[in-house]
Each structure stands twice: as C-alpha cells, then as structure tokens.
Amino acid sequence: MEKTNLKTNIVLIGMAGSGKSTVGSELARVLNVAFVDVDMLIEESRQTPLQELLDGLGVQGFRKAEEQVLLGIDVKHHVIATGGSAIYSQVGMDHLRESSVLVLLEVDLDILKQRVGNFGDRGLVKTRGQSFEDVYGERLPLYKKNADIVVDCSDRSVSAICNFIVAQISDSSYHF
C-alpha cells in the first residue's frame, strides 16, 4: 500500500526580509485558511516583544524558547511563517515537516539588506560580531537543506509568489 503524504500546512522559511509574513498572510487569504506568525506566538507565550526577549535570554536562550513554540504547533490547514532563526532547530523543522510542506522564500542578499535596513534594530538572532552577510551565509545552506520547495522571489510580486506556491502544491503529492 502506498503511503500518502498528508501535509496539510504550508510553512514559510527564509531570512528576515524575505517576505514570510507578507506572503504568508496573502497565501492564507488566497487558500482561505488560517495564518500563524511564529514570531507573534513567541511574543504571546512570553508576554514580551521579540527584541526584549532576545536581549534578556541571549541567543541560545531565545533559540530554546523559539524551539519550544515550534514543537507546540499542532494545526491543520494553516500557513505558518517562521522566524528566520527557526532553521537552527532541526527538531523544530522535523516536527513541522510531519504535517507541512516547507517552502523557502529565497531572496538575494542585496535585496534583503535593503529591506531589513539597520539589522541591529531588527531583532535578528545572531552572535556578537556577526554581520548580516555572515548570518545569511550561515543560514542559507540550512534553509536549502530543509526546504521541500524553493521559490526564487526575485522580480516576483507577492501575488506571483503565492501563485507559484499554489501551483507547486497542486502539482505535487501533497494534500493541502
């Protein structure tokens, strides 16, 4: 008997500035499903803004808190936007993959830098002295390793990105 791939969620992964929240909310609207922003779940779980959490917990403490939230996600028929640092939790990615298609929103480094601006103010999870380029270089292989679908978001509107994702899901063995 052939095993069916019962993936009922779409999880968006990628760097800060890649458009996960923007694309995620529009994709959820197009598909008529609920949208979840993991960064908001983290803030709600701790009743604290992300930057304050990061400042108070440090990088490792924040990653642990983020992993706890990822592991607690148990939904169906949702679009889920992860934080850019969620990729550091392989157990979190594996948990999400059980019920979700992982979609990487890939954006060129120069465009990301323009969108993010002063990344010191962004709440970017990084170790002391790491540049935005360093973080990008560290995360990109992890994103690609975990992605079921990669979307080149260069020169594509939010609508075009959503249409591409829907087409990829429709042409696959996923049951969204």
Q: What is the pLDDT of residues 119-134, one digit of tens each?
A: 655 567 777 788 889 9
Q: What is the pLDDT of residue 125?
A: 78
- How are strands ordered across the β-sheet holding 149-152? 34-37, 78-81, 9-13, 100-106, 149-152
Domain span holding position 71: 9-168
Residue 96 resides in a domain? yes
Residue 115 resides in a domain? yes
Indicate the SS3 state at residue 50.
Answer: helix
Give me the number of domains the chain comprises. 1
Q: What is the CATH number of the domain that holds 107?
A: 3.40.50.300
The stretches in the chain having pLDDT less than 70 are 1-5, 118-123, 172-176
Residue 3 resides in a domain? no
Residue 1 resides in a domain? no
Residue 175 resides in a domain? no
Q: What is the pLDDT of residue 115?
A: 86
Mean pLDDT estimate for the chain: 90
